[in-house]
């Protein structure tokens, strides 16, 4: 009896190990998800200080309790139609690794946050290769939740390609 209970707990733990929580948000009618462990906080929309000579998707920087944090507009990064910030527009502040061992903080502007889902790693399927794959390397895969498709984003990739510029540019600089 005891044994069985232990076995059951172990099984649960195993499933739990593979299950991770994802924060989902809306962007031009599509639903995206990012690993919740990467999310530092969610802030309401606030004015951004623009920076010169940066890609259009970089809106600028904000003051996050004394730290200067760059803000990426995901709509424009994914070449979606841009929209003026509305009442539900928020900035999701995420922590990402830049591939060189540094952790950086950045904010992504999204239309609205929706909810937190438990998604098992096995349920995430790779995104089909359509068109120019290099254009959206930040897409880690697709998951289905309650008949809705959720696009899982890789935050680290998003940082490297969306904020820090292409690796080539890095080398040249």
Position 68 contacts another protein (CB under 8 A): yes
Min. distance of Cβ 52 from another protein in angstroms?
A: 4
Give the pairing type, strands 58-64 and 30-35: unpaired
Position 101 contacts another protein (CB under 8 A): no
CB contact at 8 A, 74 and 110: yes
Min. distance of Cβ 169 from another protein in angstroms?
A: 9
Q: Which span sits near another protein by CB under 8 A: 19-27, 57-65, 82-90, 142-150?
A: 57-65
Q: Nearest to residue 137, comparing CAs of 148, 117, 151?
A: 151
Query: What's the sign of the alpha-carbon dihedral 33, 39, 61, 101?
Result: negative
Min. distance of Cβ 58 from another protein in angstroms?
A: 8
Q: Report the b/e string of 106-129 with b at 16+ CB within 10 A.
A: bbbbbbeebeebebeeeebeeeee
Q: Which span sits near another protein by CB under 8 A: 33-41, 50-58, 75-83, 140-148?
A: 50-58
Joined together, the tokens standing for residue 115 give: 């909810």
Position 85 contacts another protein (CB under 8 A): no
Among 34, 90, 92, 106, binds another protein (CB under 8 A): 106
Among 9, 67, 82, 125, binds another protein (CB under 8 A): 67
- Residues 154 and 113: their CA atoms lie apart, in Å, by 17
Among 19, 35, 40, 54, binds another protein (CB under 8 A): 54
Position 65 contacts another protein (CB under 8 A): yes
Q: Is 152 left (phi over 0), alpha (psi -120 to 50) or beta?
A: beta
Phi/psi of residue 66, nearest 5 degrees: 95, -10
State the residues that interact with another protein by CB under 8 A.
47, 49-54, 60-63, 65-70, 104-106, 163-165, 173
């Amino acid at each position: 009896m005891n044994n069985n209970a232990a076995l059951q707990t172990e099984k649960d733990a195993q499933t739990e190990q593979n299950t991770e929580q994802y924060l989902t948000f809306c962007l031009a009618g599509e639903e995206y998800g990012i690993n919740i462990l990467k999310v530092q906080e969610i802030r309401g929309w606030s004015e951004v200080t623009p920076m010169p000579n940066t890609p259009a998707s970089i809106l600028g920087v904000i003051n996050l309790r004394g730290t200067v944090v760059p803000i990426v507009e995901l709509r424009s990064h994914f070449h979606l139609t841009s929209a003026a910030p509305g009442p539900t527009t928020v900035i999701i502040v995420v922590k990402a690794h830049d591939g060189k061992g540094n952790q950086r903080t950045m904010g992504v502007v999204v239309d609205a946050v929706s909810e937190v889902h438990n998604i098992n790693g096995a349920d995430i399927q790779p995104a089909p290769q359509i068109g120019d794959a290099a254009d959206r390397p930040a897409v880690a895969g697709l998951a289905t939740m309650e008949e809705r498709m959720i696009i899982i984003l890789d935050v680290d990739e998003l940082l490297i390609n969306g904020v820090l510029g292409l690796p080539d540019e890095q080398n040249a600089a």
